Structure 1
Amino acid sequence: MSITTKRTLQDIDADWVIWIQIIYNIFVKFAIYNLSFPRWMNYFTDLITIVLFLFLIRTKKITVCKDFFSASCMILCFFWVGFLSTVVSGGDSVLYLWAIRNYGRFFLWLILCIQLLNVNKWFGHIRFLHILLYLNLFIMMVQFFVFGERMDYLNGLFGRYVGGNSAVNTFVVVLTIENIAAYLSQKRAIKVVLINIFVISVTCALNEVKFYFIELILVVIGALFIGNRRTWKALAKSVYLIIVFGIMMLIGGAIFLYLYPGFSEKLSLEYMIYYSTRSYNSSKIIYHEGIPVSNRLTVFGIVDHYFLESALQKILGIGMGAADIAAFIPNPFYIKYSAIAYNAFLFGLILLENGYVGLIIYLSFILFVFLNSKRLVKKDPEQYKYSGIISGTAAFLFLFIGVYNSALKIESSGYIYFTFLSLVFATRIHSGKHMGRTCFLRHRDFQYNTASGAKRL
């Protein structure tokens, strides 16, 4: 006789759900664009997030510390400004709700990772991500040398579609951060790190992600600033790391020029500045509706000059969701002005929809993660050095990626990046050194466990 048991949400291993989400978003674009799976699979990620949220509610346990509370307040302020912006501008409430979904899913994911991520299993999952890194390179090499795929269509596991290289870039960037953090915290030998960075460099060379080599410099700077102490040994280690990664950049650049010999002039700083300021979109349009097409270094000026006309609009924007694409809802503003490409850059879009106040709050949240990571590493390097370097450097690089493109507002990039942002907070909560309170949700009560005993409100 067999006995069957009914599984509930409490039987779910939340940590595995987190990593299923990450892995699913690595493969889903490949399934859609290479294997012709239906596009509604993109929205299955929302269901995974909802399941994890219900699991957190079902466990009736939320650990609250000062850092978690501060981060949550910043997130709520961002959406409150978006609400005010929508009300003042007379915006569409449905578009506002869709914008809450677009931004809120990643902030909610950050909170879920802080509460539910099992840091003791972290390295096992990281090893699997490195396996996917090597598998991705193998698939890209087959696509390049056998099928003749090039540039935007050469994305390996991330699918054959224009813009897929932004997801590849995010994937290799977080693994670059992780490798440098592992080396600086003495969790991985330098030779293993160099092999991984070499694989990443070849991946970026094949994928024509030339800006990765700028990101590599920023990652090294951010990691050394957060993780190194002011000692001669730390200084020597920093110099050694800079020299080694400088050599890796030269090797990666040489491979890139071998694969794309016509790009020799496009690796100069002058060309990259020109490339980031020219008015030119994928349809070769320079002006649209009398407005120049925006680019990475011009989008803020164009948005401020042409769209934020009144003082109130400069403060609050034109309404959260009012300028972004909506999957099931026609957006007149987006239909009319999307050719200007303002939505191709995350911070430019936030400025347009939420004004300078919304952008400042968003940037303040990123800065908070960066500074808090630095503080925790300085306070207890043995406990927080690895996780602090990862979260802090990810926050530091967020400032570059938010200007560079809009990758961190799409599923294939956002979930994995916000997971890495959450690591230092998850480590603090998991270590039991958060000096905060654990909130048990029971019916309509809140019971707080503290060091001095339980207190019921």
Structure 2
Amino acid sequence: MPSGSLSQRKDVLLEVLGVALALMLLVGSFYLTGAPYLALGIAIGGLVVVWACMKPKRLVYVLIIWCCLYPYLESDLGMPRLLSYGGDLINILALLFSLRSKKPRAVKWGWVPVPIALFGLVALLSAIVHGVSPMLMLWEVRNVFRFFAFFLACICLLDTEDLKKIVKLLLAVFVVNLVLCSFESLVLHYGQDNTNGLFGSGSGGNAATDVLLLTMSCLAVFGYGRKTMDLPRVVFIIAGSCWISIIAELKFYFIQLALLIAVSLVVSKPSFKNLFLAVLLLAGLYEAVQLFYLFMPSWKEFFDLQTILESSSDGGYGSNEGLNRLSAIGTLQSMFISNATDNLFGLGFGAGTYSQFFSAPLYATWGETLHWTWFTDAQIYLETGYVGLACYTAFFVVLGAHAFRLREGLEASEAALVETGGAMAFFCVLLIVYNCVLTVDPGGYLIFFFLSMPLVVDRERRLQPREGKVIQ
């Protein structure tokens, strides 16, 4: 039988099976939900997942796209909250495929896995010692470790070209978000906390918006330094980020931008080009802050060190009873920690967790008052103590330092990706205190994709000689 005829029959068979699967999913989901649009969405989503599994790296693409769509579908189009758990399914499939890969053997891991392995050990022992319910512990494993699983999946499944394609996709998302956020603010007159474009008009969308702005800004700054991004695009990205920060009241982005300028000067080779960009960005940052004061007169003179420290320490964030960023751990320590052992190792991994279906006893009593789940450092400290928090934080510090060591000898576009990943690792140390984006989606997935970039690029460099390629 001719090979062409066999291939055509195989294609026809796959099409028939695809249609049959779509009909089964449509009928089955409609029977279970009684909602035709939801059933159609499940059927389409099921087909997309099956299609992605045929080439596992597609799962990462699908999860990134899902991160940028589901908040809008949920908060603005009324899709059920259960939609958010679709990311877990995709993530688990990506992890299973990644465990079959041999690519991690070529990764120069350094000390990167050690802190998170120690954190996992502390988390497990703390849960056992305090008798935390296995269900609560497993749910907290899902909350915290799913992003590390995604980090591994990215390293195992993606190559450098995939990184560049996803970055282009996220740049497109940035442009779409710029338009949507402007429309929401200027035309629909949404409140600042609800102006998040594709990341939805519900509470919490600001965290993912900030991640998108920060990652795009890192790509712009390091891309310009490596001559892979021209000045007009850099100005567009930074100006667009500042504009979104103004209308969405993302004060923290301005602090991040100032730190990014400083980091770029420290890690980049001294040159007139880099110095010019730093001066230009500082001037733009000053003007953006003045425009922010114009739009938000109630925050006049906020960007003063003493004011920032006081607003992050005094009272509570969101309510007088709640925790605040810089005083959260001290408050938890005085209320719940009664001995040195608990101070070091916490009350047990899962002891302070919750979901829409169940919650830990401690959370049921105090969680909705104190809101420790709003801050990653508070959540990690409460459950694993100072030792667990130190191990968790050390992962990002070690990864950042390791990333900047890996950039030597890379071509410009790849070095820019590695530097972006390294800078994001250091910014994660701030994000641990600032909010809970490292333990919630969609922002967590976006962050850990960027964190994986240095190791993906380095792995590809190490595999090139075996494939007969020349390292530039």
Pairwise same-fold verdict (TM > 0.5):
yes
Alpha-carbon distance in structure 2 between the residues aligned to 1:335 and 1:56: 37
Give the structure with the higher percent strand.
1
SS in 2 for 1:309: coil
Say whether 1:285 aligns with 2:327.
no
- Could you say which residue in structure 2 is the equivalent of 1:236? 272
- Give the alignment of 1:319-338 within 5 angstroms: 319-338=348-367
| Residue identity matched to 1:167 | A
Contact kept? 2:163, 2:453, Cα under 8 Å: no
- Could you say which residue in structure 2 is the equivalent of 1:172? 213
- What value does the CA root-mean-square deviation take over the aligned residues? 2.4
Residue range with higher mean Cα deviation, 326-335 or 380-389: 380-389
| Match for residue 305 of structure 1 among 334, 354, 360 | 334
* 1:210 positional shift: 1.1
Contact kept? 1:9, 1:55, Cα under 8 Å: no
Alpha-carbon distance in structure 2 between the residues aligned to 1:382 and 1:141: 34
| Residue identity matched to 1:138 | V
Give unpaired runs (5+ residues) of structure 1: 287-292, 438-457
Alpha-carbon distance in structure 2 between the residues aligned to 1:187 and 1:377: 15
Contact kept? 2:265, 2:274, Cα under 8 Å: yes
Residue range with higher mean Cα deviation, 84-93 or 106-115: 84-93
- Give the alignment of 1:33-432 within 5 angstroms: 33-57=75-99, 59-65=100-106, 67-68=108-109, 70-226=111-267, 228-229=268-269, 234-282=270-318, 284-286=319-321, 293-338=322-367, 339-378=369-408, 385-432=415-462
Deviations 1:241-293 (A, max 9, x none): 221111121232233233223332334333222210122243x333xxxxxx3
Give the structure with the higher percent helix.
2
Contact kept? 2:227, 2:412, Cα under 8 Å: no
SS in 1 for 2:104: strand
- Could you say which residue in structure 1 is the equivalent of 2:25? none
Give unpaired runs (5+ residues) of structure 2: 15-49, 467-472
SS in 1 for 2:112: helix
> 1:13–1:256: structure 2 CA closer, same or farther, 3 Å change rule?
farther
Alpha-carbon distance in structure 1 between the residues aligned to 2:463 and 2:57: 21
> 1:56–1:306: structure 2 CA closer, same or farther, 3 Å change rule?
same
Contact kept? 2:107, 2:458, Cα under 8 Å: no
TM (normalized to structure 2)? 0.84
TM (normalized to structure 1)? 0.86
Alpha-carbon distance in structure 2 between the residues aligned to 1:393 and 1:149: 32
Alpha-carbon distance in structure 2 between the residues aligned to 1:399 and 1:111: 20
Alpha-carbon distance in structure 2 between the residues aligned to 1:390 and 1:279: 35
Deviations 1:185-236 (A, max 9, x none): 211112211111111111111111011110011222233333x23xxxx243
Contact kept? 1:407, 1:414, Cα under 8 Å: yes
How many residue pairs match? The answer is: 424
Alpha-carbon distance in structure 1 between the residues aligned to 2:163 and 2:107: 24
Identity level (%): 25
> 1:241–1:361: structure 2 CA closer, same or farther, 3 Å change rule?
same
* 1:78 positional shift: 1.4
Alpha-carbon distance in structure 2 between the residues aligned to 1:160 and 1:389: 32
SS in 1 for 2:132: coil
| Residue identity matched to 1:431 | R
Contact kept? 1:95, 1:326, Cα under 8 Å: no
- Could you say which residue in structure 2 is the equivalent of 1:30? 72
